[in-house]
Chains A and B, each alone.
Chain A
Amino acid sequence: TQLLEQSPQFLSIQEGENLTVYCNSSSVFSSLQWYRQEPGEGPVLLVTVVTGGEVKKLKRLTFQFGDARKDSSLHITAAQPGDTGLYLCAGPNNDMRFGAGTRLTVKP
């Protein structure tokens, strides 16, 4: 059982659509991070959320940390093919624990 559960596992959408992916846990985290990993490369940090209820925006990406600091969401507005990749959430737990990821494909 993953400490961090991500959903959906796979998502395929058309360019211009909006989407939300989720990261849930039964544990409280001091912070959560979101990464994007493209094929053949290592994960790249997108954002770190620290405060319960915090919302951070990165261009068309909006990240939210749950009030209880057990969950987080990533919303992408008007998705583009360049958003294609594996989106991973991660939280500190002695070591850094990762969810299994959401594999997003945005078709032109």
Chain B
Amino acid sequence: KAGVTQTPRYLIKTRGQQVTLSCSPISGHRSVSWYQQTPGQGLQFLFEYFSETQRNKGNFPGRFSGRQFSNSRSEMNVSTLELGDSALYLCASSLGAGRASGNTIYFGEGSWLTVV
């Protein structure tokens, strides 16, 4: 079955602009999580959605937001872009929500965002 699909793969934006990234989870998966990956900070958790509800949020400013649709597809938005927002943004999907249950998460290939 198809894996996690993220679009676009690469994009360049200028400071102050906003960006929307899209993620289609594996069919049947209802949980979608977003991560930011940078060389200096590694993989940082942004937020998790399950059944259109945000279940958990990482320590990022309010400029970072997301949503999930009824078909489990998710989008994340970053407003007022800063140079430091340049990163690989990864989406991951899993069957259920919550990590204590040990749900396996599957990552997409990511969206490379460069802010100039």
Please report A residues at the B interface, Cβ cutoff 8 Å. 2, 30-31, 33, 35, 40-45, 48, 50, 88, 90, 92-101
Contact = CB atoms under 8 A, between A and B. Distances in A.
7 contacts: A2-B42, A42-B92, A48-B102, A92-B98, A95-B33, A95-B99, A101-B43
A73 B107 CA distance: 22
A100 to B, nearest CB: 4
Given A41-B109, A44-B107, A88-B43, A95 B56 contact: yes
Contact of A93 (B90, B99, B105): B99
Nearest to A93: B99
B58 interface: yes
CB-based closest 7 A-B pairs: A92-B99, A42-B107, A98-B43, A100-B42, A95-B45, A31-B102, A95-B56
B45 A97 contact: yes
Contacts of B92: 42, 96
Interface string B94-108: 000011101011111
Q: How large is the interface on B (under 10, 10 to 19, 20 to 34, 35 or more residues)?
A: 20 to 34
A2 B40 CA distance: 12
Contacts, number: 56
B26 interface: no
B4 interface: yes
B45 A43 contact: no
Contacts of B75: none
B42 A96 contact: no
Contacts of A35: 107
A41 B92 CA distance: 12
B56 A94 contact: yes
B110 interface: yes
Contacts of A42: 4, 90, 92, 107-110
Most buried by A among B41, B99, B104, B107: B99
Interface in B74-116: 90, 92, 98-100, 102, 104-110
Most A CB contacts (10 A, CB to CB) among B41, B58, B98, B105 go to B105
